[in-house]
């Protein structure tokens, strides 16, 4: 299965600033998923990033707030823009295994906005 | 919209105790059920993927069962050890983008 390197592992940011999270995969993958887990909540899909096309955002998430880049088949970034304390969460990237089984995850970015 | 529910939310057991958690999910349009083990500051680790009604899988002291007709899965840990302390996530392959739909997890703490 793929190995994902996610950075940064944690950060404390001032409200109104932006943070970019990076995920590097050790193999080429078509789709990358970006999830968020707010305190006490489920891991929730923010968007799906495909190389060469615009990311597909889930209901409640917009590109202006969470711009995503996918410059090639092994790399993606998620930016959390104009942060507020409500953005304090764990952010995870993920890729799917073959046949829709066995998803691999990054180690997460724990974001605290003060 | 799929709702995956897990219970209990948290669990505290003594070393050596056996324990189990529940995951319930909508049984219509079922594809696969996933269990993950997630330790703080680490990647969620895949434990099991189950697809067939009646599936039972085992990995060491951990096992899982699946009932797709009634929409539930159980995860069992036999003889819990402190290193089993983690959050156990259940997820269904049901997202419109091929993504997973997660429950909130069960946080297990095993005291020595």
A31, A48, A102 ranked by CB distance to B49: nearest? A102
Q: Which of the residue ranges A98-107, B67-76, B97-106 has the most confident prediction, judged by mean pLDDT?
A: B67-76
Q: What is the mean pLDDT of residues B94-112?
A: 91
A61–chain B Cβ distance below 8 A for any pair: no
Nearest CA in chain A to B44: A105
Sign of the alpha-carbon torsion through A57, A61, A63, A66: negative
- Determine whether the interchain pair A92/B4 forms a contact, defined as Cβ–Cβ distance below 8 Å: no
Chain A positions touching B7 (Cβ under 8 A) are: none
pLDDT at B43: 93
Q: Is the pLDDT of residue A12 over 70?
A: yes
Q: Which of B98, B102, B105 sits opposite A100 (nearest CB)?
A: B98
Q: What percent of chain A has pLDDT over 70?
A: 96
| Strands annotated E in chain B | 5-7, 10-14, 19-24, 33-38, 45-50, 56-59, 62-67, 72-77, 86-93, 100-102, 106-111
pLDDT in tens, A36-61: 999 999 999 999 998 888 899 999 99
A96 — pLDDT class (breaks 50, 70, 90): confident
What pLDDT digit, counting tens, does each position of B13-42 carry? 999 999 999 999 988 888 899 999 999 889
Q: What is the mean pLDDT of chain A?
A: 93
As a whole number of angstroms, the distance between CA A68 and CA A79 comes to 6
Please give the Cα distance from A47 to A55 (Å, whole number): 6
């Amino acid at each position: 299965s793929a190995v994902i390197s996610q950075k940064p592992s944690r950060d404390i940011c001032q409200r109104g600033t932006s943070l970019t999270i990076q995920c590097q995969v050790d193999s080429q993958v078509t789709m990358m998923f970006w999830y968020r887990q707010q305190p006490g909540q489920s891991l929730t899909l923010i968007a799906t990033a495909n190389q060469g096309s615009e990311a597909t955002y889930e209901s409640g998430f917009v590109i202006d707030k969470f711009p995503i880049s996918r410059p090639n088949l092994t790399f993606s970034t998620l930016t959390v823009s104009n942060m507020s304390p409500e953005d304090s969460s764990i952010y995870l990237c993920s890729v799917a295994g073959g046949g829709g089984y066995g998803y691999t995850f990054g180690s997460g970015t724990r974001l605290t906005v003060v | 919209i799929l709702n995956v529910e897990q219970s209990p939310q948290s669990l505290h057991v003594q070393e050596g105790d056996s324990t189990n958690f529940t995951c319930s999910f909508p049984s219509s349009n079922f594809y696969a059920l996933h269990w993950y083990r997630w330790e703080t500051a680490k990647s969620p680790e895949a434990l099991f993927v189950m697809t067939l009604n009646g599936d039972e899988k085992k990995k060491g002291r951990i096992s899982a069962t699946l009932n797709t007709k009634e929409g539930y899965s159980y995860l069992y840990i036999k003889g819990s050890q402190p290193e089993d302390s983690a959050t156990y996530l259940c997820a269904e392959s049901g997202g419109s983008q091929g993504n997973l739909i997660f429950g909130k997890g069960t946080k297990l703490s095993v005291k020595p």
